[in-house]
Amino acid sequence: MSARRVPESTGTEEKRSIMTLSMYDASVPMFVRQFRALDAIIAKGEAHAAATGMDPREIFDSRLAPDMLPFPKQIQIASDMAKGGVARLAGETPPSWPDDEADLPALRARIQKTIAYIQSVSADQIRDSEQRDISLKAGANELHFKGQAYLLDFVIPNFYFHITTAYALLRQKGVQIGKRDYLGL
C-alpha cells in the first residue's frame, strides 16, 4: 500500500492522505485471514459437539431456514468465491472441486486446500486486474464484470455472506463463539 496526497473535495487548500490498495491486498490476505478464522470456529464446533454429546451431523446438516442452503454449502460456496475470484483476477480458469465433503473434518480440509490454492497465486499475477474483463455463469445467467467491480461488488459480498451464515449456524447450535472468533482475533 502506498499513500499519496490529493486535494479534498471541498475545494480548500487542505489535503488528506489517500491509501491505494492493490487487488491482491484486497483479496488474498483477507480471504486467508477469514478462512483461518472459519477453520478455528469449526474446530470449536467439533469440540462443542464432543463436549456436549451432540452428534456433529447436527452442525453439518443445519440451516437457518428451510429454504436456505445447509452448513456444508456455506463453506463450499465461500471456497468457490475465494478460489474463483483469485483465479479470474489472475486470468486463470478457477480450479473445479467436487462438493462432496461428508463431515466437518472434510470441510476443514477444503478450507486448507482453498488457502493453499489462493496463496499459490502471486501478487504479480493479479496486478493490474482492475479492468480485466471477467465473465462467468451463475445459474442460468451470464455475468460480466471488470475486475475491480467483480471483486468488490460480487466476490467479497458473496464470500462474507456465506462465512457469516456458517458462523450463525454454529452459534445457533450453541457453539461458544463470538465476534473476536469471527474476526480471527
The CA distances from residue 109 to 43, 59, 100, 139, in Å, are 11, 16, 12, 26
pLDDT, tens only, 46-72: 999 999 999 999 999 999 999 999 999
pLDDT in tens, 76-123: 999 999 999 999 999 999 999 999 999 999 999 999 999 999 999 999
> CA Rg, the chain, in Å?
19
Sequence length of the chain is 185
The grid cell for 101 is: 465433503
DSSP line for 16-67 = EEEEE--TTTTTHHHHHHHHHHHHHHHHHHHHHHHHHT--THHHHT--SSTT
Residue in this structure with the C-alpha cell 470456529, named with its chain if needed: 41
Separation of alpha carbons 6 and 163, rounded Å: 36
Question: Quick one: pLDDT band at residue 20, thresholds 50, 70, 90?
Answer: confident
Categorize the per-residue pLDDT at 139 as very low, low, confident or very high, splitting at 50, 70 and 90: confident
Inform me whether the pLDDT recorded for 4 exceeds 90: no
